[in-house]
A = this chain, B = another copy of it.
Amino acid sequence: MKPDHAPLAQGELAARYPAIRAATEELAGGLSPEDCALQSMPDASPVKWHLAHTTWFFETFVLERHDAAHRPFDPAFRFLFNSYYNGVGEQYPRPQRGMLSRPGLDEVLRYRVQVDERMRALLAGRTLPTEALGLVELGLHHEQQHQELILTDAKHLLSLNPLAPAWRAGMPKRAAAAALLWIAHPGGEAGIGHDGAGFAFDNELPRHRVLLEPFELASRPASNAEFLAFIEDGGYRRPELWLSEGWTHAQAQHWEAPLYWRRREGAWMEFTLQGLQPLDLHASVTHVSHFEADAFARWSGARLPTEFELEVAGGAFADVWQWTSSSYGPYPGYRSTPGAVGEYNGKFMSNQYVLRGGSLDTPPGHLRPSYRNFFPSSARWQFSGVRLARDPS
């Protein structure tokens, strides 16, 4: 959260709060108690945990501090649903989140109802201090981030099921992808980072200037058809196309295609939220790691863009998150938000790469041009794709 940010007005927050919270529950609506309880890998969390943790965020950072009548729903939740805030205390270990059959989904939903009722009363009551309003606003952005994680984590779980279950109704097949154009940018000095108005995370600040060389950027993310050409040209078997660490990882994990592609009787299928479907060649390729994005770019005679190039060129808001060549680090003069919420972003600035843009499943209104998403190089379960860049010839 921007340290000196003027948050939204209390009335506006009171209006947004129930809408954003309801969107989370609607998202999880098609899932069974079992779907919500299982953890498919240490990187992913059970949906039930997301439902509880986002609630914990409001209970711990807002109600506990600003609601004099606050009583914890269950004192054990402070420990169970703390993700990584050492400032709040010990945390239940992340890889064990799938060991918690209790509290059940029913009780977690009751937890949400109680906290929402207290939050409603708080926001409808006396004027809250600015710090409290800032935390409410942060909590809503936090909730939206977990909405996308609910989708990616549940998708990963269902993908492991040999029954290849569908979660939600089908979506129309994509129209033919537009021709890929190269858009030239002259480079030069440019401003980077959030520019003042409205909410931003602390990692988008301070706004500062950088020098860019001239570059060219693809007009859209790469498509499945384009990525398939890379595969068919032996892309996964040619070490010269890969970073050394990427090659080692791809060999060890037996990568041969994006995460959810499956070959069935000679044809490529893709596991989707609608179950196993024929691969849509016109759609943007997604569920590729930074390593795969980088190898694909090298094979294409191009490279990944820096996060600055994507920010400056604008128009990053396509249908998949776009890996950049930028390691996730602090901007010059970066300061984390004071207090435990300061652990939100800064302590992860290590061995991760920035993704820019957003996906079809990022909640509407959540994004800004300066928005920085970040994941390790090997991560594939997010909606991550690739937009190419290149140096002018």
Contacts and interface: CB of A to CB of B under 8 A. Distances in A.
A124 interface: no
B189 A158 contact: no
A243 B158 CA distance: 32
A100 interface: yes
Interface string A75-115: 01001100010110000100010111111110000000000
A333 B213 contact: yes
Instruction: State the number of copies, please.
Output: 4
Interface residues of A, number: 64
Contacts of A291: 350
Contact of A330 (B37, B160, B239, B325): B325
A34 B245 contact: no
Contacts of A245: 348, 350-351
Interface in A258-278: none
A253 interface: no
Nearest to A391: B333
Contact of A34 (B105, B160, B332): B105
Contacts of A161: 99-102
Nearest to A31: B101
A40 interface: yes
Given A243-B347, A330-B325, A76 B33 contact: no
A208 interface: yes
24 contacts: A33-B34, A33-B37, A33-B104, A34-B34, A34-B48, A34-B101, A34-B104, A34-B105, A37-B38, A38-B99, A76-B162, A99-B157, A102-B163, A102-B165, A210-B210, A213-B332, A213-B333, A242-B347, A243-B347, A243-B348, A244-B350, A325-B330, A326-B329, A327-B329
Given A210-B211, A244-B350, 16 more contacts: A32-B101, A33-B37, A37-B38, A38-B99, A87-B240, A101-B158, A208-B213, A211-B211, A213-B332, A213-B333, A242-B347, A243-B347, A327-B327, A332-B391, A350-B377, A351-B351
